[in-house]
Amino acid sequence: MNAAVDLVRAEWTKLLTTKVGYWLVAVGALMAAGFTALFTAFAGDQGSGPGGPGGPGLPAVGTEAYASLVAGIPAQVVVIAVVLGVIGTTQEYRHRTATPTFLVTPRRGRVVVAKLVAYAVAGLVLAVAAVAATVLVATLYGGARGGAPDWTADAVGTLLRSGLALVVYAVIGVGVGALVRNQVGAVVGALVYLFVVEPIVASVPATADAYRWLPGGALAALTGDGRGTDLLGTWEGGALLLGYGLLAAVLGTVLAVRRDVV
Amino acid sequence: MRLDGRRRGGTERGGVISSEAATAEGRVEVRDLTKTFGSVTAVDSLSFTVEPGQVTGFLGPNGAGKTTTLRMALGLITPDRGTATIGGTPYAALPRPATRVGAVLETAFHPGRSGRDHLRVYCRAAGLPTRRADDVLAQVGLTPAGGRRAGGYSLGMRQRLGLATALLGDPRVLVLDEPANGLDPEGIQWLRGFLRHLAHDQGRTVLVSSHLLAEVEQTADRVVIVGAGKLVREGSLAELRDESAGTVLVRTPASAQLAAALTGAGAAVESTAPDALTVTGMTTEQVGAHAFSAGVELHELRARTTGLEEVYFRLTSGAEQYAATGGGAS
Ligand SMILES: Nc1ncnc2c1ncn2[C@@H]1O[C@H](COP(=O)(O)OP(=O)(O)OP(=O)(O)O)[C@@H](O)[C@H]1O
Ligand SMILES: [Mg+2]
């Protein structure tokens, strides 16, 4: 038990003695603040998209719809959470520190488990930062525009689930990194998946049905941003997302144990 | 320079360890190790033993399989066949390996992390107090640079950081893969003294690889020589030195007559030119005496020391040839 705690602390020491973790949390919080400011600035505007002027636009500040929209914003920075986790594992291979790491802990599965725990906590820190930034901007800026969100139980629930999503995506990132090992490959792969593959799958009618089973669909269900009606239920989506996190973790662990460290 | 031995209760440190149990604990045994990468057999049925209290040089030309062997012994590469044990236990099964074995493989650190923080990471992972980081920094003479980013270290400083990492757990066994790479002459001198001190004065096991004999010649007591993944020679450096002595060059107009006389007396004789012989297994005095009693006129008689380097070259060049022809004539 002590040894397990030591290993998790070693991972934190690694994270806290380099800059990338601080940067990612800062960027995540800034992104959440930026999105919130954007939605608040244009709150109440009429839509000008395919629906034409007068179509559905952004909900006005102070409305329940506005609060619910803003509460889902932290989930928009899942990409940062994934990158955080991916870097956590791949930098061991990039800088060849996998060698001393596995020399100290030859039972490599323990290292991966320690990373999963350490980065779940790091994801939690990112989540707190993103949620805080969102709430702060929505309250101050929304208030200045005439209606700070009314933090109802529903809105708070959405906020918390959005934060939880960040934790799960950080865990997924650790697993993906352990699978791919190549840092650039894993980061680029994750970005392409999140910003190209999933949106296409979601918008092509023939595959739209499958979207709900993907991490993005599960995330949408969990955070209830109302993207589609054919999503899973909130907690089913959450469970599926957690399943993806565990799958990545188990696969990553098995491969890290089997592969030669050269 | 004395290592901190307080944490390992009961085990005597700082003096030569002589007890049977302590010797067994520090013994490294490689048995029948084999590893193939695709079509390349990097290590081929390799067996050897490394004893504590000595510096053992692990020699072989580039690509001989040294790094692969060491990584297998340390549980980083899974062998196709065979075992490697430290004190009778495979590395991966050691309860707290960092306190038993220290390894310097290629330099590995995050460039943005300071040397001291790098060491602290492994203190934490190994369950050691973080002050060990400062102890080992001092031990390798890196204290002034401890707070700087490791990415800015010179090659020699990186090697020292690697050595410091290996020493964190005050291990009984040290395994070093080409540790002299990048060290200046002063650094090499220091490393030699340091390794000898660890082995001779403190009774630790020191296994150090190199592709240059000259590099370990002044440090090692024993050598394990590999070529093309196979064991070529295992023995003390003194034995190897004996082998390099004992060649006598003779020039004589009656070479056939002298060759017959010397061969009859048990020497190995090789004719290198119409009037020249190379004699192995006899001193110059013995050759001179035989020539005198055979009534042979000599134009030259001298001992030739082939040098250790040449013996090493002869031993391993055979292996290289073997590798190049893929198992043909040797
Ligand atoms: N991961 C790998 N994949 C493929 N081949 C490998 C791998 N590692 C080593 N080899 C091959 O195995 C052989 C032995 O390599 P190894 O690195 O063990 O030699 P070495 O004795 O350490 O050489 P050097 O003195 O150059 O460091 C070489 O032919 C090498 O190309
Ligand atoms: Mg090598």
- pLDDT tens digits, residue range B99-149? 999 999 988 999 999 999 999 999 999 999 999 999 999 999 999 999 999
Does residue B205 form part of some domain? yes
A65 touches chain B (CB under 8 A): no
Report if residue B326 sits inside a domain: no
CATH (domain of B252): 3.30.70.100
Considering the domain boundaries, does residue B3 fall inside one? Answer: no
Residue of B37, B39, B177 with the most ligand 1 atoms within 8 Å of its CB, for mutation:
B37
C-beta B39 within 6 A of ligand 1: no
Judged by a CB distance cut-off of 8 A, whether residue A99 touches chain B is yes
Q: Tell whether B263 and B152 lie within a shared domain.
A: no
Q: Is the ipTM of this complex over 0.90?
A: no
CB-based contact (8 Å) between A257 and chain B?
no
Interface of B with A in 45-104 (CB under 8 A): 71, 74-78, 91-94, 97-98, 103
Centre of ligand 2 from the C-alpha of residue B36, in Å? 15
Give the residues across from B101 on adjacent strands: B173
Judge if B20 and B149 occupy the same domain.
yes
Task: Region of B95 please: left (phi>0), alpha (psi -120 to 50) or beta.
Answer: alpha
Are B217 and B295 part of one and the same domain? no
Within a domain: residue B108? Answer: yes
The pTM assigned to this predicted structure is 0.84
In a shared domain, residues B31 and B105? yes
Q: Is B203 left (phi over 0), alpha (psi -120 to 50) or beta?
A: left
Whether the predicted pLDDT of B20 surpasses 80: no
Question: Are residue B210 and residue B159 in the same domain, yes or no?
Answer: yes
Residues B36, B149: one domain? yes
**pLDDT number for residue B150:** 96
Looking at the structure, tell me whether residues B298 and B199 fall in a common domain: no
CATH number of the domain bearing residue B164:
3.40.50.300
B249 touches chain A (CB under 8 A): no
Q: Is residue B320 part of a domain?
A: no
Residue nearest to atom 3 of ligand 1 (CA): B37
Number of domains in chain B: 2
Nearest chain B residue to A256 by CA distance is B76
Q: Choose the most confident range, by mean pLDDT, from A215-219, B5-9, B51-55.
A: B51-55
B62 to chain A, minimum CA–CA distance in Å?
16
Per-residue pLDDT, A59: 83
Q: Which atom of ligand 1 is nearest to the CA of B71?
A: 18
For ligand 1, the distance from its centroid to the CA atom of residue B42, given in whole angstroms, is: 6
Tell me whether residues B94 and A102 touch, CB distance under 8 A: no
**Tens place of pLDDT per residue across chain A (262 aa):** 688 999 999 999 999 999 999 999 999 999 999 999 998 888 777 655 444 444 457 888 878 888 888 999 999 999 999 999 999 999 999 999 999 999 999 999 999 999 999 999 999 999 999 999 999 999 999 888 887 888 888 889 999 999 999 999 999 999 999 888 999 999 999 999 999 999 999 888 888 888 889 999 898 888 874 545 678 888 888 899 889 988 988 888 888 888 898 8
Q: Are residues B228 and B150 in the same domain?
A: yes
Q: Same domain for B20 and B100?
A: yes
- B322 lies in some domain: no
B150 Cβ under 8 Å from any chain A Cβ: no
With a CB cutoff of 8 Å and minimum separation 6, the contacts of A184 are: none
Dist. CA B315–CA A102, nearest whole Å: 35
How many residues appear in chain A? 262
Domain interval for residue B289: 246-303
Going by C-alpha positions, the residue among A138, A112, A172, A125 that lies closest to residue A59 is A138
Residue B127: inside a domain, yes or no? yes
Looking at the fold, whether B144 and B78 belong to one and the same domain comes out as: yes
Confidence at residue B11, expressed as pLDDT on a 0 to 100 scale? 44
Which residue in B has a C-alpha nearest to residue A20's C-alpha? Answer: B112
> What is the C-alpha separation between A44 and B239, in angstroms, rounded?
91
Please check whether residue B319 lies inside any domain of the structure.
Answer: no
Domain's final residue, options B236, B269, B290: B236
- Of B191, B212, B236, the residue that ends a domain is B236
Same domain, B186 and B38: yes
DSSP symbol at A183: H
Query: What mean pLDDT value characterizes chain B?
Result: 87
User: For B161-185, what is the mean pLDDT?
Assistant: 93
